[in-house]
Amino acid sequence: MGQINRDDMLELTRRMTLKRNCFSRIAGAYLDGEGYIDGTFHKHFQRLSTKDQQLYLNIAKAIPFSDTNVQLKEYCFEEADRKPGSAWQLLMALKECELKNDAMLDVFYEVFGEKYQADGEYAIYFFYGSYDVPRKANDGENLWESEEVYQFIICTICPVTGDYEPGEPECGFLFPAFKDRSSDIHRIDVFQADSKRPHMELLDNILFA
C-alpha cells in the first residue's frame, strides 16, 4: 500500500466545480438491499440541470477530498490482479470507452450487487473525467503547458431514500490513481467513509477478487 499525496487530490478537486468541471459523463444504477438492479442511467454531464450538476459534483468530489491515507488509501494491482476477466481489465475498458458501453457497466453493476453488503437501497454512480495536467516550473508555478491528459473514473456508492435521493457516499474509488500528478494504471485509490468499519468486500470480493 502506497501513500497518497494530499496536494494531488486537492489539485483534482479544484476541477470539480460548476465553472471548472472536468466531468463529461455520468452513469449509474439503483439497487435494492439484496443487490438487484432497479434501474440504470447514463447521461452527458453538461446536460444535467445546474442543481443536479452541483449535487453530483459534491458526490464525486467526496472521494478525492476525503481524509487522505485514512479514508482514502492507495492499493496496487499486481500482475495477477490484471488477468483477463479481472476487475482491473473492466475498469480499464470503462475508462477507455468513457462510460459509453452499457454492457460493460451492467457487468460491473451485477457483480457489485452480488458481493456488496448493503443495509438498504443504494446507488452506484460512475463519473468519467479528464484533466489537462499543466506543467509546473521549478518554483511550483503553473506553466499552462500540458504535461499529459489524465483520464479517469470515479465510482461512489451512496445509500438512497425516497425517489432515489442519494445520501453521503459510503465507499468508492478513483481509477487510475493520480500519483505524482500523473496517471498510474497499476494503482487505485479506494475510499471508505468509515475507516474503522470499512466495506472490505469492495476490496476482497470486487476489486481484487
Tens digits of residue pLDDT in 82-107 = 999 999 999 999 999 999 999 999 99
Q: Of 190, 58, 40, which Cα lies nearest the Cα of 109?
A: 40
pLDDT at 145: 62
Tens digits of residue pLDDT in 120-131 = 999 999 999 999
- Phi first, then psi: give them for residue 135, nearest 5 degrees: -70, 155
Q: Are 56 and 39 in contact (CB under 8 A)?
A: no
Alpha helices in 62-198 (DSSP H): 87-96, 102-115
3-class secondary structure per residue, 69-107 = CCCEEEEECCHHHHCCCCHHHHHHHHHHCCCCCHHHHHH
Which residue type does 169 have? P
pLDDT at 148: 87
Q: Which residues of the chain have pLDDT under 70?
A: 136-146
Helix%, strand%, coil% for the chain, nearest 5: 30, 40, 35
Alpha helices in 101-209 (DSSP H): 102-115, 200-201
pLDDT at 139: 54
d(CA 199, CA 203): 8
pTM for the model: 0.93
